[in-house]
Structure formats: structure tokens, C-alpha cells
Structure 1
Amino acid sequence: MNCIFKFPHWLLGLSLVACLLLVTACQRQPQNQLEEIKARGYIKVYTRIAPTTMYIGDQDFTGFEYELVKLFADYLEVDVQIITENDLAKMMSELEKGHADLIAAGLTVTKERVKKLRFSPSYQEISSKLVYKQGQKRPRDFSQIEGGLMVLANSSHSATLRKEQENYPELTWSETNEFSASELLDKVLDETIRYTVADSNDLELARQVEPELAVAFSISGKQNLAWALAKNSDDSLFAKVIEFFNQARTDGSIDYLIERYYGHLTKFDYVGSREFIRAIDSRLEAFIPDFIQAASDDLDWRFLAAMGYQESHWKPDARSPTGVRGLMMLTQNTAKQLGIKDRLDPKQSIIGGADYFRLMLQKIPERITDPDRNWFALAGYNVGFGHLEDARRLAQADGQVPDTWQVIKDYLPLLRQKKWYSKTRFGYARGNEPVRYVGNIRQYYAVLQQLFNLDGSRKQLEQEPVELELEETLAPELEQTENQAESQIDQ
């Protein structure tokens, strides 16, 4: 028997409302920070604009912290929202208020910070250096600082100075939130201030472009860099961060990023760096149009220029005892093969060098990706592709993956030792030379990337802080989702 019940329309309306409320109430709300991040679909991260953290590249943002954060977001299977800020105290305050999920800004782990924040496993070691301008009087310790010292406010540097003041009561300094670490180094150069304190990784990158920055002495031993999270009873995100760093250490992701962003740095050579900067100012400009033309759409003109400096210091009439000549130092046979009629003509030499490098790239297996592909091609050109393959075979036999420069640069020098080259097909090679050759070109290339745009124009080195959502196409949706979440909380 079928029964049909009729309800008044007003009662039916109330029933629908009750059902909607019941459905809403039954929807599972995030129980912890990690679930909240996954529910909103992105993680909020504070960082700062700097060469060691995040900066604007040729087409998009890049940088060590930027890449590491992206790896973590992929690990969580969410997107990223990055907020840039130079005020360290504000970063930490906003983190403690729950306005961000973590800080990835090259923060030093200090006793004072550990009291307020929770830190991830360390991913890099640095030390702090007192910096002055080359040619000025070098202080040997804090007692010889006569004033004019400025550091970032609320930084580990200011904390170190306060501790040192116990031993040097006459030590004085000023602190600022107005300027970034890079700007303080610029102020040392233009003599607006006499000294500042810089982290060793920041300073090493800066000195490639500004060799006049000199180290007076170290003000700290080795210090750890790590991400910062809020210190609370919610361990969900912190536990995931620890998992991520354990995996990134195991699979080599962190080592790969360190190699990518710092692998070109060698022991600082003041004379060599200064000569390079002078050559940029005096000789490079005349050849930039030729490098751009030779690079076409598949190469970076700054990379070709770095090769040119390594080969000839951008001297069109350069000659070596072995018979190579010209700006790109082509052999007579290579020039003939490439259709170059005059090796001393800089334009022809640059075009020939670019075409020859393209031939080198073709010999590298497709599975090897940029930028390692470039380093392999350079090494093969320098030492011979047979020896390069020998080094790769040695690495593979040793249980290593032979498709990254990070690995192969450790095996090439072994080709000088009978213990190793006796196992190879092509035998002995001066394997340390291609490592040095690639390292020099990487160093020159990194400097040219800092100074020049792809169109050949000069860059403005200082960039204004910006707020960035990495997935810009999702920005309106992210904002809408966030507003809806806040509305639900209010209700």
C-alpha cells in the first residue's frame, strides 16, 4: 500500500532549510593546521627578496628558498602563496598570529628564536662576517671599530653584537628595517656606512659582482639555516616538514639545489673578480649584439659571453701556443668545419663558438636536463666526450646516478689516478681541468645573469618587495576560498 503525505508549503520550506543546515553541520571541518592547508589548497609562506632566497629571474621568480618551498608544496600536493617582507620582526609576529604557515627566508637558528619559534631541520650552514670596503682600514676585532656599523634590526647579527658588547662595552651600532641586506652592502661600497654584518652565503654571491666588499673578520662560527614555524600544540605541519626534509636529504634534492645555486662559487679571487668586472665595463658592450644574434632562440647570450671570457677575456686577437685563435678560441679545423673564414673577426668567432656549442649539446643524452646539460657539454668539449663518459661509468659503477654535474664533477678528477683510469676505456685524463673550466664559466655566467637582461640591457640590482602568489592564475580563486573560510569561522 502506497501512502502519500501532504505537507503545507511553509513546513516543506522549513524542512529544506533544516536539511541544508544538517548537511553543512555534517561537513567535516579541518582538525589541524595541515588539514586546513589542504582544505584551502595552498600553503602561506613568508620570505624575503634576496639572491639567496627568492628573486626575479629572466621570466619568473627563482632562488634557493623559492625552489625548496615549491618542492615542499608538491610534497603536500598544494599550491603556494608567498608574501615577501624584509622586516624580520614583522615576519615572526605574523607567523605567531597565524597569518602564515611558515617562514622560508634563510633564518639563522638562534637560542633567542628557539624560545619563540619552532625550526625545521637545517638545510645549510653559514657564518657571519664583518664587512668593510677594500682599501679602507681593516679592523681586526671589535675594539678597532670606530663607528659607522649598521645591521638589520631583529637579526641574528644584532643579537651577536649585543653579546659581544659584554666584552667590548665601547662597541656601538645602529639597526635598520628600512634597508635590505643587499642595500647595506651597497652602503658600505658608497661609504654611507663603514661596516655591516653579512651572512657568508649572501656575501659570497655579492662579491662576485662587487669584489670591493672585503671581510674584516668572522663574528660567528658555523650557524644553521632553517625554516621557522609557529610554536604551538599543533604538530601536524611540523611533522610533515620533518618528513619532507628527511626525504629531500635522502633523494639528494637539497644537495642538488645547493649545487645549482652555490656550486659555481669558488675561493674568492679579488684580482680575478675585479678584472672580470672591468672587462664587462670596458669590452663586453661592443660584443653584446653579436652574442645575442649568435644565441638566437635556443641559447642564452650571457652563457656564450661567459664562454668567451673564459676563452679569451673577450679579446678578438687572442692566440694560444696550440694554435687556437680569436674571441672564442676556435681551432683552424673547427673554424673550417663551421664555415668560419676569419677567426679574428669577433662576430664570426662568436657565431662559430655558438654553433660549435650546439654540436656539443647534441652529444649529451636527452634525459640530462638544464642546467646540467650545459655543464656536461662544456666538460666534454674541454676534456673530450670519451673521458666524460668514462667518469659517468665510474659513477654508475659506484652506485651513483651519472646524470647530474653534482655527481660527475667528483668523478672527473679521479681520471688522474691509475687506480681509477685503469678501469676506463679512454684511460688517463687531467680530469680536474674540466671541473675548473666549467666552474669558471658558471661563475662568469652567474655574474652576467645578475647584471644583464636577456635583451642585453642592464638590470637594476635592487628590487622592491612584492607580495606574490606563485599560482597567479589561481589568485582570485584563492582569495575567494580564503574569504569563504573566514566567513565560516565567523559563523
Structure 2
Amino acid sequence: MQCINRLSRLTLLLGALLLSACDVKENIPNQQAGIIARGELRVGTLYHPLYYFIRKQGEDGLDYELARQFAERLGVRLTMVPAYHLDELFGLLDEGKVDILAAGLINTPLRRQHYRFGPSYYEVAQTLAYRKGQPRPTELGQITGGLRVLAGSSQAEWLHRLGPDYPELRWETRREADAEELLRQVAEGDTDFTLVEDTLLARTQRYYPNIAAAFTLSEPLPVAWVLEQRTDDSLYSSMLDFFDERQADGTLARLNEKYFGHIQDFDYVDTRTFLRRTEDRLPRFRPLFERHAGKLDWRLLAAVSYQESHWDPQARSYTGVRGMMMLTEDTAKLMGVADRLDPEQSIRGGAQYLGQLKARLPDSIPEDERIWFALAAYNMGLGHLLDVRRLTKKRGQDPNAWAQVKENLVLLHQPKWYRQTRHGYARGREALHFVNNIRQYYHSLQWLNGPQTDPGINTVRNEPQADSPLPSEI
């Protein structure tokens, strides 16, 4: 009888434990609910001028901006968890230390075997970079020199996959580096080739103009965020909805313009000349740019001046504009500039005029895009810029998005369109070229002179810049 009682008690105890285990399992939240309960979205990333970097105003970067918006959508705080190389980055996800990875990661077959990818938010192409003056290969079989790629990268995966077709091809991987470091090694002759994304090569050519694209190995490949592979779709579903919304409301187009809109064209001779003049001319005028920049970044002001005059105080054009900032007589008079050929007066007047144009723009234009609108107005006049905004709206586009407005600048050359405006014909193509060039020069000055700042706010005051974890943060 005692044995039966003991058996009954044991049975009851085991049953209670099983029921308890079931209750615990049923109470385990799904991935998204767990993040919301924690109150924190943890995002693994890499220090990089496109993905994530730190400036004086705080965190920034394309992936950071999207991650911040996604965290806001979930109603939680965002914590960025930077890694220093790809193996470490994927290790963060494998070990459950982050919820997603957001670092310009290419969706590849090998990675899909182990991870889940969200929607693509831009595309890149695998491109072989070489040093100008060296023989240019046109396909992998012609590579005879040193080829370096990042360990664990999509480029290394690509080469492994193509290896059987090119048995003579040799390459080496680098773990403690980033893609910009490999491009620097090519530029300085430490290696002959590297394989990188076309977008990164285009950005980096502005300060290493002796590197170029030999050929492209692939069609455009999707870049996306990365999650664990799991049956729980809660976070993945929210991510799909998030990117659909950001596509529909124009956020992705705006960010694409912000980070890639100025890198399409590269002029080797112009870039070499610009870099040389940052050494032999800019130091003389830098104190003036810093002194009179006001709320603008002095490097932006310097970029405008280079576009206008190549930092030549005696510059003049056939239209009558003159000086460092190429002011018209009317603008000079309005800004209190008595001598347009005096460098300080010209820089002060140009800075004040650009600041006034920026302030006069409609409040509906996002703050981080206002400066590009102001620069277009600086070139062709505020009235013509407002005309283009009206034409943009008439065509069913967003007049507050620089990416869409700039497409319509060329309409001011066409009678069909400029007849519909208040101010008529204008050289819209010139204004587009003007703004794109300034963005390129500004980008180069950011790399040469410290970490990125808001182009509309001057935070650089001669003090050393020490808040950048990598020298490539721009």
C-alpha cells in the first residue's frame, strides 16, 4: 500500500512538472514580443561611413538612420553594437547578443544557408579595383598580381565559388581591416587588386584618385538586414512592413540620395587638382572659412568656394561674377561687400548669402536636405529653384525631396516647361552639376579634415577632431 502511495505521489509530481514546463513554454514570448518586453532593439553593425559612425552630434549612418526608425516603430530604444570585422559581427548574432545585423550586408547563397535576410534597400555590384598605370585586367583569369579581400566577406565567398573555373587564381584574405583600408593598399602599391562594392569604390576615389574599376564581376546584388533563422516570424514580418512603409513614404529614396546621390561621376584630373590645392591653397584661406562659416560647416563653405573659383581670389567669369565666392555686383552690394576681390570680404559675403537662402526656404523641406536646395538657389537664383519645386509638384512628385527636385532642374531648359514658370528659362543642368560637384568636394574635405558633421551646422573650431573611431569616418 505504501508503494502504491509513493508511486501515486511520484506520478502526481511528474505530472505537475510537465504541466509547469508546458506553461513556461507557452509563456515564452515570440522574438518581437521579447524585444518589446526588454524595451531595447540591439543592432549589430560595423564602423563605416555608410553604415554607422559617431560624430559630435551623435550617431549617424544609413543603417543607423533606418535602425533608429525601426526601433521607434517597435516603441523601444535602439542600441547599436559595433563590431570591428565581419567574423565578429556575425558572431554577435550567433551568440544572441544582437537581434539583427545592419551593416550593408550582401544577400549571398552561402549566408542564406545560415541566416535570414530582410528586404533589399539598395544594390551593389562586385567590382575589381586596380591602380591606374598598371595593366588593367578585363576578367579574373588575367589577374597575376596580389589580390586581397576581407575575410568572411561576400567577395571572399564569390572568389571561392568561382575558384574551380580559375585554378591559377590566387588571393589572400585580411581580417583586421576594412574595405577602405584595402583600397588604400591598392592606391599605395601594397597590393595590386582588391574586390569591393562599386558604391564604396566610387566614394573612395575622391581621395584615392589613382584607383579605378577594372571590371565588374556581377549584376547588382541586394543589400539587406540579417536575422537568425527561426520559425518565429514576428520580427521578420515587422521588418517587411517597415521597409514597405519606408519605400512608400519616400524615406528609402531620400536616404539613397543622401548617401549615394553625389557619387555617380568621377573626374580623375579634377580630383587630382583638387587634392593638390587642398595642400597648396586651402591652408591660406581655411581660417577665413572657419571665421565666417557661421552656422554652416566651414568645409562646405570651402567646397562652394572651390567650385566657384578654385580658391583663386582674382577669379572672374564672362558673366561679371568675381572673387573667391564669385559674387555678382548686386549680391555683393546686398551683403555689404565693397571689394569682391578681397578674399575675406568675398567669403563673408558668400557665407551670409548662402545662409540667408537656406533660411528663406520653405519649412517643409527636411533639415538635412535644405542645404542642397540652398546651393541650387545660390547658383541659379531662389526664384528659379521655387519654380522647379512647383514643376515637381505638378508632375506628382515630392517638392521637398532633393532626389526628385534635382531630376526636374533640366526642365528649365525646355520651353514646354519653363513657359509654365514664373521666372522662365534657367540653366538647370548647370545648377545640378554645381550641387553635385560641391557635394563631392565636401565629401573629400570631410575625409581630409575630420569626421562628418551636419553640412548646415558648423561644429569645427580649430580644435583636434578625436571623436572618430576610424580614420575613414566621413
Q: Please, what TM-score do these two structures have when normalized by structure 1? A: 0.85
Note if contact 2:205-2:211 (Cα within 8 Å) is conserved in structure 1: yes
Task: Name the structure 2 match of 1:403.
Answer: 400
Q: Distance in 1 between matches of 2:254 and 2:61?
A: 13
Matched, 1:424 2:424: no
Give 1:265 shift.
Answer: 1.5
Q: CA 1:391 to 1:214, structure 2 compared with 1: closer, same or farther past 3 Å?
A: same
Q: CA 1:378 to 1:244, structure 2 compared with 1: closer, same or farther past 3 Å?
A: same
Task: Name the structure 2 match of 1:290.
Answer: 288
- Secondary structure of the residue aligned to 1:82 is strand
Task: Name the structure 2 match of 1:12.
Answer: none
Note if contact 2:53-2:468 (Cα within 8 Å) is conserved in structure 1: no
Matched, 1:446 2:443: yes
Matches within 5 A, 1:35-54: 35-54=33-52
Q: CA 1:122 to 1:216, structure 2 compared with 1: closer, same or farther past 3 Å?
A: same
Note if contact 2:376-2:432 (Cα within 8 Å) is conserved in structure 1: yes
- Secondary structure of the residue aligned to 2:222 is strand
Give 1:418 shift.
Answer: 2.5
| Aligned AA (1:378) | L
| Aligned AA (2:110) | E
> In the alignment, which of 436, 461, 474 is matched to residue 455 of structure 1?
461
Give 1:459 shift.
Answer: 6.1
- Secondary structure of the residue aligned to 1:305 is helix
| Aligned AA (1:382) | N
| Aligned AA (1:291) | F
Matched, 1:322 2:319: yes
Matches within 5 A, 1:179-218: 179-218=177-216
Give 1:457 shift.
Answer: 6.5
Matched, 1:415 2:412: yes
Task: Name the structure 2 match of 1:32.
Answer: 30
Task: Name the structure 2 match of 1:477.
Answer: none
Q: CA 1:324 to 1:458, structure 2 compared with 1: closer, same or farther past 3 Å?
A: farther
- Secondary structure of the residue aligned to 1:105 is coil
Q: Distance in 1 between matches of 2:88 and 2:55?
A: 26
User: Structure 1, residues 174-222: CA drift from partner, whole Å, max 9, x if none?
Assistant: 1121111111112112222221111111111111121112211112221
Give 1:460 shift.
Answer: 8.1
Q: Distance in 1 between matches of 2:391 and 2:247?
A: 23
> In the alignment, which of 147, 150, 170 is matched to residue 149 of structure 1?
147
Q: CA 1:325 to 1:422, structure 2 compared with 1: closer, same or farther past 3 Å?
A: closer
Task: Name the structure 1 match of 2:130.
Answer: 132
Aligned length: 440
Give 1:362 shift.
Answer: 3.2
Q: CA 1:176 to 1:447, structure 2 compared with 1: closer, same or farther past 3 Å?
A: same
Note if contact 1:185-1:196 (Cα within 8 Å) is conserved in structure 2: yes
| Aligned AA (2:469) | Q
- Secondary structure of the residue aligned to 1:210 is coil
Give 1:119 shift.
Answer: 0.4
Larger mean CA deviation between 339-348 and 287-296 belongs to 339-348
Give 1:323 shift.
Answer: 1.8
- Secondary structure of the residue aligned to 1:335 is helix
Q: Distance in 1 between matches of 2:352 and 2:322?
A: 16
Q: Distance in 1 between matches of 2:292 and 2:84?
A: 40
Task: Name the structure 2 match of 1:99.
Answer: 97
Task: Name the structure 2 match of 1:434.
Answer: 431
Larger mean CA deviation between 365-374 and 264-273 belongs to 365-374
> In the alignment, which of 172, 175, 179 is matched to residue 174 of structure 1?
172
Note if contact 2:129-2:194 (Cα within 8 Å) is conserved in structure 1: yes
Give 1:246 shift.
Answer: 0.6
Q: Distance in 1 between matches of 2:411 and 2:385?
A: 11
Give 1:29 shift.
Answer: 5.1
User: Structure 1, residues 238-294: CA drift from partner, whole Å, max 9, x if none?
Assistant: 111101011111111111111111112232211111111111121111111100110
Note if contact 1:104-1:227 (Cα within 8 Å) is conserved in structure 2: yes
| Aligned AA (1:191) | G
| Aligned AA (1:143) | G
Q: Distance in 1 between matches of 2:464 and 2:195?
A: 28
Q: Distance in 1 between matches of 2:292 and 2:153?
A: 46
User: Structure 1, residues 134-190: CA drift from partner, whole Å, max 9, x if none?
Assistant: 222222222222231111111111111122222210101111211111111121122
Q: Distance in 2 between matches of 1:315 and 1:450?
A: 23
- Secondary structure of the residue aligned to 1:277 is helix
Give 1:425 shift.
Answer: 2.3
Matches within 5 A, 1:237-252: 237-252=235-250
Note if contact 2:127-2:195 (Cα within 8 Å) is conserved in structure 1: yes
Q: Distance in 2 between matches of 1:120 and 1:151?
A: 25
Matched, 1:370 2:362: no
Note if contact 2:149-2:182 (Cα within 8 Å) is conserved in structure 1: yes
> In the alignment, which of 70, 73, 76 is matched to residue 72 of structure 1?
70
CA RMSD in angstroms, aligned pairs only: 2.2
Q: Distance in 2 between matches of 1:184 and 1:197?
A: 9
Give 1:133 shift.
Answer: 1.6
| Aligned AA (1:237) | L
- Secondary structure of the residue aligned to 1:182 is helix
- Secondary structure of the residue aligned to 2:119 is coil
Q: Distance in 1 between matches of 2:56 and 2:127?
A: 30
> In the alignment, which of 337, 341, 350 is matched to residue 340 of structure 1?
337
Q: Distance in 1 between matches of 2:228 and 2:259?
A: 28
Q: Distance in 2 between matches of 1:387 and 1:67?
A: 32
Give 1:339 shift.
Answer: 2.2
Q: Please, what TM-score do these two structures have when normalized by structure 2? A: 0.88
Matches within 5 A, 1:350-389: 350-389=347-386
Q: CA 1:421 to 1:331, structure 2 compared with 1: closer, same or farther past 3 Å?
A: closer
Note if contact 2:54-2:467 (Cα within 8 Å) is conserved in structure 1: no
- Secondary structure of the residue aligned to 1:83 is strand
Q: Percent identity, please.
A: 43
- Secondary structure of the residue aligned to 2:219 is coil
Q: Distance in 2 between matches of 1:378 and 1:219?
A: 37
Q: Distance in 2 between matches of 1:150 and 1:136?
A: 16
